[in-house]
């Protein structure tokens, strides 16, 4: 159990999704009341949080935060002290194919939550979980800091940038306490199969081609989801509101290196009559694909003492073990 806040009412949006579910499992066994909301789209599932919502202090409500009237009714009835806003459409490819749902969820949904929050009686902080993609693309050896100018390059990152700006504006204009976190690429248990590491695992197990965009030289900073959760907990306990913090894993790798690491671990953990790396297939790059993201988390570390603990090899092994258990179990059901 993660030490957390005490005797508070906490709203978690997107709690049945990847990061929200991991956050809930880490904090639910604490002296707080939790209301978890999620619209249960393709990327969110009650199976992800079944054990947590069976606890007496956790309640679940299926809700689309783009529905203004119902969102206001449910949240104002619960009267949370804290909101942890994970809910978002987050898959870049999907945003390119159909951006409207990203505008509805990421912009309008965040607006609805902010309007609810400033109507609450004893509200303490709005935690807005965002992404490093709002900053655009880095040159070689550069790192994003909190003051890096916004330069989003996809419909997804543009809608997340817009929601970040809304949160800051509500803080400045209405005095709403907030923290914005811009995190690097998360990985770990419960991540949807559309994301890169689960794609490599699932395609590899099926003996199917493992797609890698372009030449595979795009660089990302990989953050194990448990480290992300511990950073949010540290910020909640620190209580320095009205600001933004970058959260990174100190694991910057090209997609080529990352995919081959996953393949090597699959060779060891679930051997087949082929090497998984033989399945790698380079495919046409997606539009607007940024070359490099990397996070400088020094402000967060200075203010809270937090540091990422999970190195990439350990995190990948834990992640692969989880997917092996769950994918194979589902195949045998």
Q: Which residues are part of the catalytic machinery?
A: 132-133, 156
Per the structure block, which two tokens stand in for 7? 């005797």
Pairing type for strands 82-85 and 9-13 reads: parallel
CA 227 to chain centre: 11
167: how many CB neighbours lie within 10 A of its CB?
Answer: 24
| HEC secondary structure over 189-243 | CCCCCCCHHHHHHHHHHCCCCEEEECCCCCEEEEEEHHHHHHHHHHHHHHCCCCE
C-alpha distances in Å from residue 211, one per residue of 90, 114, 166, 281: 19, 39, 36, 5
> Is 17 in contact with 40 (CB distance < 8 Å)?
no
State the DSSP code for 132: G
Q: What is the DSSP track for 3-72?
A: ---SS-EEEEETTTSHHHHHHHHHHSSSSSEEEEEE---TT--GGGGHHHHTSTTEEEEE--TT-HHHHH
Q: Where are the beta strands (DSSP E) in 77-150?
A: 82-85, 125-131
Secondary-structure percent of the chain, ordered helix, strand, coil, rounded to 5? 45, 20, 35
The greatest distance separating any two alpha carbons of the chain, rounded to the nearest whole angstrom, comes to 62
- Report d(CA 56, CA 58) in Å as an integer: 6
d(C-alpha 263, C-alpha 270), whole Å? 10
């Amino acid at each position: 159990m993660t030490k957390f806040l005490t005797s508070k009412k906490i709203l978690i949006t997107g709690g049945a999704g990847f990061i929200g579910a991991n956050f809930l499992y880490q904090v639910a066994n604490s002296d707080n009341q939790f209301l978890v909301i999620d619209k249960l789209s393709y990327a969110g599932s009650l199976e992800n949080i079944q054990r947590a919502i069976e606890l007496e202090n956790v309640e679940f409500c299926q809700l689309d935060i783009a529905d203004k009237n119902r969102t206001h009714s449910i949240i104002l009835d619960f009267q949370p002290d804290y909101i942890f806003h994970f809910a978002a459409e987050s898959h870049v490819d999907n945003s390119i194919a159909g951006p409207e749902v990203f505008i509805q969820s990421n912009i309008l949904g965040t607006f609805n939550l902010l309007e609810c929050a400033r109507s609450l009686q004893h509200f303490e902080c709005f935690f807005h979980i965002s992404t490093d993609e709002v900053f655009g693309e880095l040159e070689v050896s550069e790192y994003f800091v909190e003051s890096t100018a916004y330069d989003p390059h996809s419909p997804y990152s543009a809608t997340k940038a817009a929601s970040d700006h809304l949160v800051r504006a509500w803080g400045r204009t209405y005095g709403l306490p907030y923290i914005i976190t811009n995190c690097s690429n998360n990985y770990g248990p419960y991540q949807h199969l559309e994301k890169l590491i689960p794609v490599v695992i699932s395609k590899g197990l099926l003996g199917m081609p493992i797609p890698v965009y372009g030449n595979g030289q795009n660089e990302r900073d990989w953050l194990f989801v448990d480290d992300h959760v511990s950073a949010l907990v540290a910020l909640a306990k620190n209580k320095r509101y009205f600001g933004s913090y970058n959260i990174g894993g100190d694991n910057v790798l090209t997609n080529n290196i990352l995919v081959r690491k996953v393949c090597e671990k699959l060779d060891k953990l679930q051997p087949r009559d082929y090497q998984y790396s033989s399945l790698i297939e380079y495919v046409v790059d997606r539009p607007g694909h940024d070359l490099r993201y990397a996070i400088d988390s020094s402000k967060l570390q200075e203010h809270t003492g937090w540091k990422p603990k999970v190195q990439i090899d350990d995190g990948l092994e834990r992640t692969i073990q989880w997917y092996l258990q769950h994918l194979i179990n589902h195949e045998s059901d």
